[in-house]
Amino acid sequence: MARCRRERADGLGGWHGRGSLLRSMPGTLAPEVVEPLLRGRFGNPYLFAERCESTQRALTDDLPEGAVAVCDEQTAGRGRRGRTWLAPAGTSVLCSLLLRPPAAREPAQLALVGGLAGARVVERATGRAAALKWPNDVLVDGHKVAGILAEARGEAVILGVGINVSQSAAELPSGTRTPAASLVTLGASSERASVLVDLLASLEELYDRWRDEGLAPVRDELAARDALRGRSVRIGAVAGIAAGIEPDGRLAVDTRSGRVIVAGGEASVA
Ligand code: BTN
């Protein structure tokens, strides 16, 4: 089966698959550059647009698990909790992956799976330890390099990943609660295609294990990468000391009135 389909004919104007006439620019994530590097199921089909509203909106229900949408620039990039995700054109890996998790698994755990994949990729690219700020921000030295957005669509999940690659310090968002960094500001290379290919391979490896065995195989890695453990945190009305990620992916917080297990939300660190 061909790895990638042409997508322009079916109403996704501006989206390109294999065989598109798109001309490669240096550093492009166009299919003719990325597609030959892909080895697994994720990225098949591979949908690419130079510019789109949000890759989260590009994957239609008829596509199979593993379909990926990528673009160079988003005009309405979405972050968690209704925020926007902004990046100058051509500076980031911006992608969304269509997943069809089995009913036996808790889909909310996919945020952690995506976060771990992002952390592995950032760590390999920078040679620096990457941590996970529960549930899914990827940090290096307390700076956010990547964010994950897991959105349910019926029984499917659209897992969006944004990795800051080549932004200069001046191009990164400022005034955010967690300061931002890119691979380049961390001293790494700005090769987006290899970052994307590594990300899709890491997502596939971690997703397949999670689908078969849940979070158990990555429990130690989650603990090792946990940026919140021992820190004073507030998540909604819950305030206390983060006490680690539970086997089911929720966060334990030791409050004055005892241990509380938090299922989701935004953790601010005191
Ligand atoms: C966050 O940290 O708030 C999550 C950010 C997720 C951003 C990615 S970029 C690719 C995909 N498309 C979007 O519009 N958002 C996600």
pLDDT score recorded for residue 189: 84
DSSP letters spanning 42-100: TTSSEEEEEEES-GGGS--TTSPTT-EEEEEEESS-B-GGG-B----TTSEEEEEEEE-
In this predicted structure, what is the pLDDT of residue 20? 53
Residues belonging to the chain: 270
Ligand 1 shell residues, CB under 6 Å: 54-56, 74, 77-80, 83, 85, 94-96, 137, 147-149, 160-162
State the Cα–Cα distance between residues 106 and 118, nearest whole angstrom. 20
Identify the residue whose C-alpha is closest to ligand 1 atom 11. 160
Nearest CA to ligand 1 atom 2: 147
Q: What is the pLDDT, as a whole number, of residue 210?
A: 98
Q: What is the pLDDT of residue 27?
A: 82
- The token pair at 109 is 């755990």
Contact 235, 243 (CB under 8 A): no
Q: Give me ligand 1 centre to Cα 68, in Å.
A: 14
- pLDDT score recorded for residue 105: 97
Q: Which atom of ligand 1 is nearest to the CA of 55?
A: 12
The predicted-structure confidence for 70-107, as pLDDT tens digits, reads as follows: 999 999 999 998 899 999 999 999 999 999 999 999 99
CA of 161 relative to ligand 1 center, distance in Å: 5
Q: Which atom of ligand 1 is nearest to the CA of 144?
A: 2
Instruction: Using DSSP, state whether 207 is helix, strand or coil.
Output: helix
Low-confidence spans in the chain with pLDDT less than 70: 1-13, 17-26
